[in-house]
């Protein structure tokens, strides 16, 4: 974010110049919370406000919606999770810049089905190369002890159950991230947005989200990485003639904080 003490006009200018686009495929089984995520993600904040439970209908086939958050113009591809729609996931996801796979972590009876669906999706060479963020949704439904154990371990059990390190999901160099969230409560959605910022600014292969609760995923994300991404963007603007002395001054007001 931009420093809170920066002049409003300066904040508006920098936000406009930093604005970029990202098409995001959101896949997962039916009833895992994808549609709720699409509704709440654009309004995520570090405060993680409590939200009223949402009543959503199952997505029929595909729903595409636009949203704006943290300087990103998002196009969210909400892919229907019913088994009859899963054959279309690859086709829709191929044109996106990143992939989120949502899992209902409170429903262990469907984890095998979720693994099979994810692995089948990642078999596609194009989709398999997309930055991947796995969201363990509905953490608010876990017992405090179960949630703490998963967060401390970096969701290791879920990683193993989804076979994220297996041969089917790609080579050992595959970069992925796992994060526990609650789409209805807003828990950790601000960290999802951080991940999206990096992907939108082309900051390299899918680094993991640095949670406050312990290790998560395959690597770690810091605000230093975000700053590097912004610096890279500024260099591109310099070459194109868009980077002005005003933005140079504004860049000194850019700080990223928890």
Helix (H/G/I), strand (E/B), else coil: 123? coil
Is 34 annotated to bind a ligand? Reply is yes
Is 71 annotated to bind a ligand? Reply is no
Q: Taking a C-beta distance cutoff of 8 angstroms, is the pair 31, 58 a contact?
A: yes
Give Cβ neighbours of residue 236 (< 8 Å, ≥ 6 apart): none
Q: How far apart are CA 160 and CA 166, in angstroms?
A: 9
Q: Taking a C-beta distance cutoff of 8 angstroms, is the pair 28, 103 a contact?
A: yes
Is 28 annotated to bind a ligand? Reply is yes
Is 31 annotated to bind a ligand? Reply is yes
Q: How far apart are CA 171 and CA 121, in angstroms?
A: 15
Is 35 annotated to bind a ligand? Reply is yes
Pairing assessment for the beta strands 98-104 and 62-69 based on DSSP bridges: unpaired
Is 81 annotated to bind a ligand? Reply is yes
Is 21 annotated to bind a ligand? Reply is no
Is 61 annotated to bind a ligand? Reply is no
Is 33 annotated to bind a ligand? Reply is yes
Distance of CA 11 to the CA centre of its chain: 24
Q: What burial class does residue 125 get, using C-beta atoms within 10 Å of its C-beta: 0-12 exposed, 13-18 middle, 19+ buried?
A: exposed
Lookup: tokens for 198? 């990096």
Is 96 annotated to bind a ligand? Reply is no
Is 29 annotated to bind a ligand? Reply is yes
Is 137 annotated to bind a ligand? Reply is yes
Is 166 annotated to bind a ligand? Reply is no
Q: How far apart are CA 34 and CA 47, in angstroms?
A: 21
Q: How far apart are CA 143 and CA 26, in angstroms?
A: 26
Is 139 annotated to bind a ligand? Reply is yes
In the chain, the N- to C-terminal Cα span, in Å, equals 10
Which parts are annotated binding residues?
Answer: 28-35, 59, 81, 137-140
Which parts are annotated binding residues for GTP?
Answer: 28-35, 81, 137-140
Which parts are annotated binding residues for Mg(2+)?
Answer: 35, 59
């Amino acid at each position: 974010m931009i420093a809170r003490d920066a002049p409003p006009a300066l904040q508006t200018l920098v936000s406009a110049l930093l604005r970029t686009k990202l098409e995001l495929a959101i896949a997962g089984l039916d009833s895992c919370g994808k549609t709720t995520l699409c509704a709440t993600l654009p309004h995520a904040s570090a405060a993680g406000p409590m939200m009223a439970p949402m009543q959503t209908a199952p997505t029929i086939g595909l729903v595409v919606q636009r949203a704006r958050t943290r300087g990103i113009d998002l196009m969210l591809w909400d892919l229907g999770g019913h088994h009859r729609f899963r054959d279309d996931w690859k086709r829709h996801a191929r044109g996106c810049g990143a992939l989120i796979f949502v899992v209902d972590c409170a429903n262990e009876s469907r984890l095998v089905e979720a693994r099979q669906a994810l692995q089948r999706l990642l078999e596609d060479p194009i989709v398999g190369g997309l930055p991947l963020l796995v969201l363990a949704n509905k953490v608010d439904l876990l017992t405090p002890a179960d949630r703490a154990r998963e967060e401390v371990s970096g969701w290791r059990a879920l990683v193993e159950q989804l076979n994220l390190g297996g041969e089917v999901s790609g080579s050992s160099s595959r970069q992925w991230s796992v994060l526990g969230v609650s789409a209805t409560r807003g828990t950790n959605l601000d960290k999802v947005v951080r991940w999206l910022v990096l992907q939108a600014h082309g900051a390299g292969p899918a680094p993991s989200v640095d949670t406050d609760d312990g290790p998560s995923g395959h690597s770690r994300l810091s605000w230093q990485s975000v700053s590097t991404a912004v610096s890279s963007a500024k260099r591109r603007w310099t070459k194109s003639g868009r980077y002005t002395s005003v933005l140079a001054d504004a860049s000194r007001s850019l700080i990223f904080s928890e």
